[in-house]
Amino acid sequence: MSLRVFVPCETTALSLGAGDVATLISREAEARGLEIELVRNGSRGLFWLEPLVEVDDGTGRRAFGPVDTADVASLLDSHFGDDHPLALGPTDELPWLKQQQRVTFARLGVTDPVSLNDYRATGGFDGLHNALELTPQQLVDKVKASGLRGRGGAAFPTGIKWQTVLDAAGAQKYIVCNADEGDSGTFADRLVMECDPYMLIEGMIIAGLAVGATQGYIYLREEYPLAHRHLDLAIARAEAAGYLGNNIQNSGRAFALEVRLGAGAYICGEETSLLESLEGKRGMVRAKPPLPAIEGLFGLPTVVNNVLSLAAVPSILRDGPEHYAGFGVERSRGTLPFQLAGNIAQGGLVELAFGHSLRELIEDFGGGSASGRPVRAVQVGGPLGAYLSPAQFDTALDYEAFSAIGAVLGHGGVVVFDDSVDMAEQARFSMEFCVEESCGKCTPCRIGSTRGVEVIDRIMRGENRDANMALLEDLCDTMIQGSLCAMGGMTPFPVKSAYTLFPEDFQRQGGEA
């Protein structure tokens, strides 16, 4: 057989030169008369090794990385030999991958993302075929039994949400996928859509079958052009193959799916703002109740789920809810893809069952800071998540354990800071972020964040510090208690954690380092 060479076509790998590497491998192989099959796969999620090139000569895939264009000639001259300086050994034996528990992301980087044959050959659409044999209530019951909770951040039980929509009266119901991934340091949604788009499509079809919805929308972050192309291509191929449309696999059941680009605002990641935007209006938060499950898109019953929630569904229907629930601890069942970013030596995607410690994630997988300096703080759960100090790094990664220390897991984003970080500046950034991204509908969020920036500025200048610290405390409490949605209600979380855990940074004189 000819040598199969895999070069990722995912955004991070492309930004690091994967496209040029792929072109040069083809050219150099042709010049040498070497027969190869070049496959543009998705990324494995080991970003510090991108571009990660893999080869398969029939004995299994072996990895090389990070590969630069300057390395291509020597790789071909050595016939991708194990003695090449960039040789990493069998891909599946790489400790960083082997120690993970990949369930949702088991196919990540293995296949050509838009190949329907690759998807079906690796268990794709098996869950859908099982779903077509079940009643809507049986489908909802299986999702309930899996223990799946919303992976977008709120961690609300997915099966309960589906049950509410199933029970709601409505001639038309909708499935809306929140793909407006806007949290700093997160990229898991993007990886699903760029590297395994059929998995999301399959999850949405199953959700539609479960609640009686025949129309779905993917509300996609505008800044994800590659994900947009892959989704559009995958939807077209799924339609042609009879997985979407008026007669899914000759079952007589229907589901249609479209991609709609987001409005470029962080607040549109909040579900009611998203629905407003999807209806063609300005992204403004709606008061709840009514819940979107009762009165959602165009006033009709709507499931709004995050990409990761829907992407988890095919494996639940393929392998059974007991298999999925077999991972995790207590009420946190299944796995969560953590995204390591910021000042970290080995950034990328780590899918683990709930229950491992934050320290394992940062030290064992992340390898500490990229700068080599001590890690001083970590922010988990996006820009609205609390900062954690090293004394909290042994906290278990599960929803309840994090809630107990005033933190959130959110979407699984983990941003690392070394000991050069100024936590007063980070607190100011949190308030400033809210100023920029607030929809402006409620006063605590709109005005509170602006006053928050002003108060922190006075504290940092050393002006009447004690009184301003007390004012900041009051302001944070008002935003938490009085804001209409999580934007204003959670912005104080990183602020309060910064001045509670790192008070010395708020005691410096103006300009003091």
Q: What is the pLDDT of residues 453-491, one digit of tens each?
A: 999 999 999 999 999 999 999 999 999 999 999 999 999
Q: What does DSSP assign to residue 505? A: G
pLDDT at 137 over 80: yes
Averaged pLDDT of the chain: 96
Q: What is the pLDDT of residues 422-435, one digit of tens each?
A: 999 999 999 999 99
CA atoms within 13 A on the CB side of 71: 19
**How many angstroms separate the CA atoms of 427 and 513, rounded?**
16
CA atoms within 13 A on the CB side of 332: 24
**How many angstroms separate the CA atoms of 88 and 370, rounded?**
21
pLDDT at 334 over 60: yes
pLDDT value for 184: 87
pLDDT at 266 over 90: yes
Q: What is the pLDDT of residues 273-300, one digit of tens each?
A: 999 999 999 999 999 999 999 999 999 9
Give this prediction's pTM.
0.96
Q: What is the pLDDT of residues 364-423, one digit of tens each?
A: 999 999 999 999 999 999 999 999 999 999 999 999 999 999 999 999 999 999 999 999
pLDDT value for 512: 54
Strand order in the sheet with 53-56: 36-39, 3-6, 53-56, 61-64, 87-90
pLDDT at 35 over 90: yes
pLDDT value for 1: 61
How many Cβ atoms from other residues are within 10 Å of residue 498's Cβ?
A: 27
**How many angstroms separate the CA atoms of 495 and 453, rounded?**
11
Return all residues near 33 (Cβ < 8 A) that are at least 6 apart: none
Nearest 10 degrees: CA dihedral of 226, 215, 142, 304? 70
**How many angstroms separate the CA atoms of 26 and 69, rounded?**
12
Q: What is the pLDDT of residues 83-127, one digit of tens each?
A: 999 999 999 999 999 999 999 999 999 999 999 999 999 999 999
Torsion over CA: 480, 414, 217, 159 (sign): negative
Q: What is the pLDDT of residues 301-333, one digit of tens each?
A: 999 999 999 999 999 999 999 999 999 999 999
